[in-house]
């Protein structure tokens, strides 16, 4: 239905961080592992069957040395000291707050080494995509630093600290995509947006929002056909605190808020149990994806929605 060889995926990099000197790109990595057939489908991140010896050793060493645990965002003067790509998203590796597997870590070491050799994030991603045997073209949204920073009642924190470190507990006041106004879409991104675009069931604020903050990105979407798949199953989001974050940016929390989040959308695919209504063509199906059959069902619904644009 959608040929992988003719498909380009643009990945969010606002969630990227530098952790203990290693550049970690969570959304890119999930797509690498999915395309390479090694994704842990129980967690939908990391590598299936991975070990965590280094992560455990870091925790043990911090405990023995009486060092602090939890997310440790480096001081402000260190946030822009080092590779530019990691600006405003640098964390100490002491008592590593993200559970990174050993094989997963090998990817981060390789990516970081490629960056240190002078590769752009796009070039490093292409190298890794080839290594994992991806059939699709995988592009990071930008080769420039864009940091998803969540301003909460407890202060400003990077999204990974807010979600992984604090499980989304602090009340969100607003969300900032620092660096986005000076960043540029990565090579090939705007060209890819000239074709029909499908927005997956991702968090509209912290997964798609960083892309929309890039100069020219939203304008490109306004000029092409866009189908958005709802990230909501009933009152629950596929992943992450989507409702809280949507409320923080003045979008109605839930499916109804998608028209605010995606004003350029030409059609929507929503869950069959969702009673939200839109002026745009809407296809309803079971949007839960737990395996290949589910993916094919949702793909058929997307294809149906594309066909309805300009017809309904």
Is 169 one of the annotated binding-site residues?
A: no
Helices (H), 187-275: 189-192, 209-212, 217-222, 242-248, 258-261
Contact 282, 270 (CB under 8 A): yes
Tokens in use for 118? 């002078």
**Strands, DSSP E only, in the chain?**
8-11, 17-19, 22-24, 90-91, 137-140, 147-152, 155-158, 172-178, 197-199, 226-229, 232-233, 236-237, 267-271, 282-285
Tokens in use for 278? 């839109």
Q: From CA 115, how far away is CA 227, in angstroms rounded?
A: 34
Q: From CA 10, how far away is CA 7, in angstroms rounded?
A: 10
* Separation of first and last alpha carbons in the chain: 22
Q: From CA 95, how far away is CA 234, in angstroms rounded?
A: 37
Instruction: Identify the residue whose tokens are 């947006």.
Output: 193
Binding-site residue set: 29
């Amino acid at each position: 239905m959608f040929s992988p060889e003719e498909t380009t995926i643009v990945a969010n990099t606002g969630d990227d961080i530098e952790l203990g000197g290693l550049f970690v790109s969570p959304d890119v990595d999930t797509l690498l592992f999915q395309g390479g057939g090694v994704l842990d489908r129980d967690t939908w991140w990391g590598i299936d069957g991975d070990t965590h010896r280094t992560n455990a050793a870091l925790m043990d060493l911090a405990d023995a040395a009486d060092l602090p645990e939890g997310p440790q965002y480096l001081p402000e003067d260190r946030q822009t000291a080092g590779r530019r790509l990691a600006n405003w998203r640098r964390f100490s590796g002491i008592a590593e707050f993200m559970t990174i597997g050993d094989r997963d870590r090998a990817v981060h070491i390789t990516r970081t080494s490629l960056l240190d050799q002078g590769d752009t994030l796009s070039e490093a991603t292409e190298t890794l995509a080839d290594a994992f045997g991806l059939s699709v073209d995988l592009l990071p949204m930008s080769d420039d630093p864009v940091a998803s920073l969540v301003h909460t009642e407890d202060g400003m924190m990077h999204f990974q600290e807010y979600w992984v470190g604090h499980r989304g507990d602090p009340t969100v006041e607003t969300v900032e995509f620092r660096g986005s106004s000076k960043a540029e879409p990565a090579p090939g991104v705007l060209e890819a947006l000239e074709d029909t675009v499908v927005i997956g069931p991702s968090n509209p604020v912290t997964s798609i929002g960083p892309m929309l903050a890039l100069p020219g990105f939203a304008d490109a979407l306004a000029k092409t056909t866009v189908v958005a798949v709802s990230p909501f199953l009933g009152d629950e989001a596929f992943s992450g605190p989507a409702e809280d974050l949507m409320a923080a940016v003045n979008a109605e929390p839930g499916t109804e808020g998608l028209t605010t989040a995606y004003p350029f959308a030409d059609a929507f695919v929503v869950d069959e149990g969702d009673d939200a209504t839109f002026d745009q063509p809407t296809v309803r199906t079971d949007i839960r994806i737990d395996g290949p059959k589910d993916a094919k069902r949702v793909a058929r619904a997307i294809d149906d929605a594309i066909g309805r644009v300009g017809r309904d």
